[in-house]
Amino acid sequence: MCPLDIKLHYVENGDPSKPLMIFLHGFPEFWYSWRYQILEFSKDYWCIAMDMRGYGHSERPEGLAPYKIELLVADVRDLIRQLGREKCTLVAHDWGGLIACRLRDVYPETFNQLIILASASREVWNTEVWENPIQRRKSWYVFMYRFPWLAEYMLQLNNLAIFDRAMLVPGKDSVTPEDIECYKYWFGKQYAFTPPVNYYRANFVYDMPNNQPNGNVPMLVIYGEKDAYLELSLIDRMKKRYGNIETAIIENCAHFLQQEEPQKVNKLIRDFLSKTNSS
């Protein structure tokens, strides 16, 4: 069990005797967004791709308080313990990355390595969104999501067309219409969007202290060159905040990079793991 007795669903693959690798998805996703990485890294790791609270098969508590970032962080920390481990390699995308960065800041001893895709710490994102008008424009939806029911209404329009627009890439076949139907199956359920949107509502702040991270965790940050939601200048802020960090940008790639360019993402992760495992 996790905080507030939350039941979390996860998919696993690989040998449980091998090192633990956990995957945290973003918005609006669920464990399925890691299908390419689960297959790739289960050769060498015990892979666990979880549905975060409010998503997929995991429990969906009502209200805003259960989606505070402190509880989301505790979910991951407690899952690691429930799996009988003290450390893991964590791979996280989008909202999963915000949670992972906070976990790394508070409990650095939890990590062997941390890989962040298309994300940043809350402190870095908050500074960028208020100091960079381009990032503020790219983050318009974050402000819209604060209004009751408006986000749910907009996201469900035209048979959940948001998934077709955001994830299907002309000329690339790594995300198929059949994959999109998997997302629409889950998010087409009644009230399915409210818990994920509550992540934004519960954690939005106009100002926050720039708390400095603890520990020295090997960290890889990867962005897509054509990310519609994040400015590449966030990478520079991440470099200033964290030591022992490597960064990479995948050309001609957008926000959902682990699905759009799985081979490139997997190679970057594997190269990083090879270096940091031997160091």
Annotated catalytic residue within 45, 55, 145, 200: 200
| Catalytic hit among 94, 183, 199, 227 | 94
106 class by beta-carbon count within 10 Å (0-12 exposed, 13-18 middle, 19+ buried): middle
Give Cα separations from 33 to 94, 203, 262 (angstroms).
11, 23, 10
Residue 200 annotated among the catalytic residues of the structure: yes
Q: What are 112's two structure tokens?
A: 């062997």
23's enclosing H/E stretch is strand 20-24
The token duo for 62 is 């009502």
Active-site residue flag, 57 = no
Q: Is 171 left (phi over 0), alpha (psi -120 to 50) or beta?
A: left
Neighbouring CB atoms inside 10 A of 118's CB total 25
Q: How far apart are CA 198 and CA 145, in angstroms?
A: 8
**Residues assigned a catalytic role:** 94, 200, 255
